[in-house]
Amino acid sequence: MRKTSRTLVAIVLALLSLGIVMLASTSSIKGATTFNDPYYFLKRQLIWVSLSLVAAMILFRFDYHWWQKLSIPLMIVSVGLLVLVFVPGIGLRVGGSNRWLRLGLLSFQPSELVKFSTVVVLASWMATIGRRSRNFNEGLLFPVIGLGVVLGLLIVEPDFGTTLLTGLVGMLIMLAGGTRLGYLIITGMLGGCSFILAVMHDPVRMHRILAFITPEKYPDTSYHLVQSKIAFYLGGWLGNGLGNSMQKHLYLPEAHTDFIFAIIGEELGFVATCAVVLLFLGLLACGMIISFRAPDPFGRLLGFGLTMMITMQAAINIGIVTGCLPTKGLPLPFMSYGGSSLLMAVASICVLLNIGEHSTEEYVDEHTRPIKDSAHRF
């Protein structure tokens, strides 16, 4: 198990290191033109990296069983912060969305904390009810009501990408916790219809869907996607060299955030993008091994949920940037510019590592009651 944990740490460090290098390259032009400082975004990201490393040292030693006891207070705080983004003078409205809280020189995105809290609460609930998860009320109705409140606040911001991601991961945790598949299929269909109706009543998101289907009819809306594809085309197999991107010269908006993967393709080539995908697949494998070999149901569901949250977000971002999915603002974990996303992704990994630490045979404490089943032979 410790070999798996060390591999996971190595993967995250590789993603973080490449992310910092690419951010330094990608954000220099926008930083110079907008803030007269080519290192503006890099310096702010390094502050968040430092905060994340401090949090990592604390959370790695924080017994994950305490998250089950803190799940309800954590969710109350998360929802409270999510409501605060709508309060004038406290929340920041950027690009037509209320998603940020101002914290001095930095800003924080409560939806990132909400994603973490949702995983903790659902894992705690499903582990607590045990076999009662097969019942309609305990296994579906109660968790769906709680999940619906969170998703409702997210979609009002609006943040459709985080809403979709959180909803999918939430239902996966419920499935892993024992909720009947038939219940989840019907709920998923109803939720999907509601999501589609919300998109149809939002002109900006609807245009993105139409631009994805017929980009030639909506050249303005499909601009990001077209420029992203051009970046991959220009990079070819081996790329144009670090720092030699043309698309970062304001041709590709948000190149340092949601579309940093495209600049990796342009500067370092198709080989480098494949390496990034392999790193996330390695993260998925390590997370699943830790989850399956967790010593108790809560640890298993918590590890599974956190792994799914990170890797599914990466898959959606890569799908968007490569033109496989409609454009939506979701950062690439560990690599895109954004302190809130980085902090919570590192926190999630540290919780995973703590679960793995409890899974070692020599680790014994008053909380751990090892279970043995077929999953431990994974």
Residue scoring higher pLDDT (347 or 204): 347
Residue scoring higher pLDDT (208 or 20): 20
Tell me which residue of 83, 67, 115, 94 sits closest to 312, measured CA to CA.
115
* pLDDT band at 75; cut points 50, 70, 90: very high
Q: Which of 92-96, 151-155, 250-254 has the highest mean pLDDT?
A: 151-155
- The rounded distance, in Å, linking the Cα atoms of 199 and 208 is 10
Q: State pLDDT tens for residues 85-104.
A: 888 777 777 766 777 787 66
Q: State pLDDT tens for residues 170-199.
A: 999 999 999 999 999 999 999 888 888 887
Q: State pLDDT tens for residues 32-68.
A: 888 888 888 999 999 999 999 999 989 988 999 999 9
* pLDDT band at 314; cut points 50, 70, 90: very high
* pLDDT band at 287; cut points 50, 70, 90: very high
Q: Flag whether pLDDT at 7 surpasses 80.
A: yes
- The rounded distance, in Å, linking the Cα atoms of 43 and 309 is 27
* pLDDT band at 150; cut points 50, 70, 90: very high
Q: Flag whether pLDDT at 1 surpasses 70.
A: no
* pLDDT band at 217; cut points 50, 70, 90: confident
144 Cβ contact list (under 8 Å, min separation 6): 187
Q: Flag whether pLDDT at 243 surpasses 70.
A: yes
Q: What angle do CA 96, 101, 107 make, to 5 degrees?
A: 100
The whole-number pLDDT of residue 363 equals: 54
The average pLDDT across 336-354 equals 93
Tokens of residue 260, six digits: 């940093």
pTM: 0.91
Q: State pLDDT tens for residues 9-23.
A: 999 999 999 999 999
Query: What residues does each domain of the chain span?
Result: 2-377
